[in-house]
Amino acid sequence: MPAFEDLKIFTGNSHPTLAKDVCAYLGIGLGECSVFKFSNDNTFVQFGENIRERDVFLVQSIAAPVNENLMELLIMIDAAKRASAGRITAVMPYYAYGRSDKKDQPRVPITARLVANLITVAGADRLLTVEFHAGQIQGFFNIPVDELTAVPILARNFLERGLSNVVVVAPDVGRAKRARDTGQTLGVPIAIVEKQRIGNEDRSEAVSLIGEVEGKTALIVDDEISTGGTVIAAANELKEHGAGDIYCYVTHPLLSGSASETLQKSVIKGFVATDTLSVSDEKKNSKTHFISVASLLGEAIHRIHSGLSVGAMFEQ
């Protein structure tokens, strides 16, 4: 097994706080690495310490500005490869382009696969991530992938609230499976909010609901939240059907545009997410709560480095 002292963690500019927290969990310092732009807008990277034969982990979350952060990561990988790193693990707490995972219209890309190819050709040996948009994205890679789940972390937070008479709600049919899995974890029923066209009237869309929610505490679950539109539409529908308190649990808080304010003003009582993405202080408010994945990632990095089972982290 490789010795622990060889482990090195570096970060780009997308989420240095999380990288530092991961290092703190592991009791090591964050490696020195400059990542900046020249006046010609070209990104530049230089590792500030010897990484030959080291076990290198590059922490970079691919949030907005998405393309900037992705290119930073690719250039870091290239630099690490040419600096003779022993093994390079791309640590992407949030993997962008997950929704471009299939051709559901003619002549569109499958960008999630393209990104997998880019990471691989740049020289990464492995990937560590938290919850892809679809599990199948694992198969976009030929290199080993460790996909961690934040569901136990989020569930623990929910259980601590001691709520009762709960229903887990999928805000969209595409998310039904996640609701089912969470429902099974918590031992509660599920419901699904659905956008449907009834009859043949020309594309008039109506939000409807499948399942029972009246008088229940509703837990809307999703993997990520962007503008918040889908979640809030679902919450409103739940209220119309007589739901009680409504909470929203997601893993990846993209919170683009004014999503945070919209949540604050909405019927949702509490919004809980992890910190796989960097959330600025102005996006935090009385309803939002963020739980760190630093120990999750730190433990996984320790296990990857030491040849211990990562799957064992999620066994009960």
Q: Which is nearer to a second copy, 138 or 157 (CB)?
A: 138
CB of 99 to a second copy, least distance (A): 7
Q: Which is nearer to a second copy, 102 or 265 (CB)?
A: 102
List, in sequence order, the alpha helices (H) in the chain. 16-26, 66-82, 111-122, 151-160, 176-186, 229-240, 259-265, 294-306
Q: Which two tokens stand for residue 92?
A: 């992407």
For 214-250, b/e burial (b = at least 16 CB within 10 A) is eebbbbbbbbbbbebebbbbbbbbbbebebbebbbbb
How far is residue 58's CA from residue 89's CA, in Å, rounded to a whole number?
6
CB of 173 to a second copy, least distance (A): 4
Q: Which is nearer to a second copy, 154 or 277 (CB)?
A: 277
Q: Which is nearer to a second copy, 200 or 286 (CB)?
A: 200
Q: Are 155 and 186 in contact (CB under 8 A)?
A: yes
Q: DSSP for 58-108?
A: EE----SSHHHHHHHHHHHHHHHHHTTBSEEEEEESS-TTTT--S-SSTT-
Q: Which residues are catalytic?
A: 195
Inter-axis angle of helices 66-82 and 111-122, nearest 10 = 20
Q: Which is nearer to a second copy, 21 or 90 (CB)?
A: 90
CB of 197 to a second copy, least distance (A): 6
Q: What φ, ψ does residue 228 adopt, rounded to 5°?
A: 90, -5
